[in-house]
Amino acid sequence: MKTIIEPFRIKSVEPIYFTTKEERKKILEKADYNSFRIKARDILIDLLTDSGTSAMSSNQWAGIMQGDESYAGSNSFFKFEDSVRSITNMPYIIPTHQGRAAEKIIFTILGGKGKYFISNTLFDTTRANIEFSGAEGIDCLCEEGKYPSVPAPFKGNMDIEALRKVIKEKDASNIPMIIITVTNNSGGGQPVSMQNIKDVRKICDEYNIPLFIDACRFAENSYFIKLREEGYAQKSVPEIARELFSYADGCTMSAKKDAFANIGGFLAMKDLDLAIRCRNLLIITEGFTTYGGLAGRDLEAVAIGLQEVMDENYLQYRIRSIEYLTNKLIEAGVPVMQPAGGHAVYLDAKAFLPGIPVEQYPGQSLVCALYEEGGIRAVEIGSLMFGKYDDNGKLIPAQMELVRLAIPRRVYTQSHIDYVAEVILEVFKKRKELKGLTITEETPLLRHFTAKLKPLN
């Protein structure tokens, strides 16, 4: 049979509160045209993020009841440690309350003025933590990843020649780490091939630079490797994941993604000296080394979720559900990132709204239109999130202007997704009526979280 169904049954539900279009116009104005500022109660379908918004399993909820809340040496920590180690095979496992806490620790220790961190594409908090340390983040996305409408199997890959060029320009001694984000979130949720990871590893060995994996969506990336890369079709997802991590010196992870948890994350590494330094900073900022800012119950939930996420029936359903919405939009002529990514559908706002220049934030205009039309909350991944200013205050735009509709895991049904498609198509019909936005208030770092905007006439 070709029909793919949800590999789970629904055991508990929560209500959705409906609003009218007129109500949403007022809500949007009150929120200063920033979807982060809208109350969750006023959202019909929340696709702002897949981080911490997934539905946990009955086994995870059972694990929560078994959580050991001991301050030091918690039984739940050792279950968590065993689970992480079984996947990464890394000896030093450091829990944190979420992924950005892991990033804050590692970049505080290794960053600083004059340092450079190179990646396929850094996401927002990763780049912010790098910049906060005084260092600079540099993206080396492969060429095919820069064209949303042109399909390619591994558009999240690192550009190997660009990587080598940056290392020579900046000098290897000034590069504490190379980071591969799997899947490439800022690049449209696109996967990275195992061959690309091997190629980056060779360069790291050549220049003696550590390689870390941003592993938020390691299982989804591993499943794409199984589907698309020669030589992996007969391998299991756990086998592929273990090989992926074998090429790395360490990793950071937000367990709020591919571990289904509502909170949690970790640092894992092979270097004992670095681990000691990270643990010392962990104690200052997060908590003791066996809880790292997490309750024992959350450590239990993460330990279980990390194993559940590698189930291939689940991953087949997960990838297919993203593909389903992507294909519906492609058939209707909506400009969308192709092929479908692993955790979200990405609209190409620059092609969707060609009449709105980048300095008027077409992605954010589209985000607002989706909310006003149908109560859908999405997020802009473009010049509002990643734009910088030159010395004259002129916007340096992002490489792409995308709108991400992140699908929480095991939360929405096909009828919800069909509704999302209907709303997008309705906005697409009205796209010539949409107007750009201007920023009225912003912060120097991560401005998209709190910025205030207003429409341009």
Mean local confidence (pLDDT), 387-405: 92
Residues 6+ positions from 430 with CB-CB distance below 8 Å: 369, 373
Place of tokens 């379908």: 45
pLDDT at 412: 95
Mean local confidence (pLDDT), 3-7: 85
pLDDT digits (tens, 9 = 90+) for 26-85: 999 999 999 999 999 999 999 999 999 999 999 999 999 999 999 999 999 999 999 999
pLDDT at 2: 67
- For domain 21-50+311-455, the question of CATH label 3.90.1150.10 is answered with yes
pLDDT digits (tens, 9 = 90+) for 263-285: 999 999 999 999 999 999 999 99
Distance between CA atoms of residues 395 and 138, nearest Å:
18
pLDDT at 1: 56
- 3-class secondary-structure state, position 275: helix
pLDDT at 89: 98
Distance between CA atoms of residues 296 and 194, nearest Å:
34
pLDDT category, 445, cuts 50, 70, 90? confident
Distance between CA atoms of residues 154 and 125, nearest Å:
23
* Length of the chain measured in residues: 457
pLDDT at 5: 87
pLDDT category, 234, cuts 50, 70, 90? very high
Distance between CA atoms of residues 361 and 349, nearest Å:
9
pLDDT digits (tens, 9 = 90+) for 99-135: 999 999 999 999 999 999 999 999 989 999 999 999 9
pLDDT averaged over the chain? 96
Place of tokens 């279950």: 79
Distance between CA atoms of residues 115 and 440, nearest Å:
33
pLDDT at 115: 98
Architecture of domain 58-308: 3-Layer(aba) Sandwich (3.40)
pLDDT digits (tens, 9 = 90+) for 298-337: 999 999 999 999 999 999 999 999 999 999 999 999 999 9
Where do the domains of the chain lie?
21-50+311-455, 58-308
Residue type, 42: D
pLDDT digits (tens, 9 = 90+) for 331-379: 999 999 999 999 999 999 999 999 999 999 999 999 999 999 999 999 9
Answer yes or no: is pLDDT of 171 > 60.
yes
Contact 367, 380 (CB under 8 A): yes
Answer yes or no: is pLDDT of 4 > 90.
no
First-last CA distance in the chain: 53
pLDDT at 457: 81
Q: Counting Cβ atoms within 10 Å, is residue 19 exposed (0-12), middle (13-18) or buried (19+)?
A: middle
- pTM tops 0.75, yes or no: yes
265-269 vs 92-96, strand pairing mode: antiparallel
pLDDT digits (tens, 9 = 90+) for 48-57: 999 999 999 9
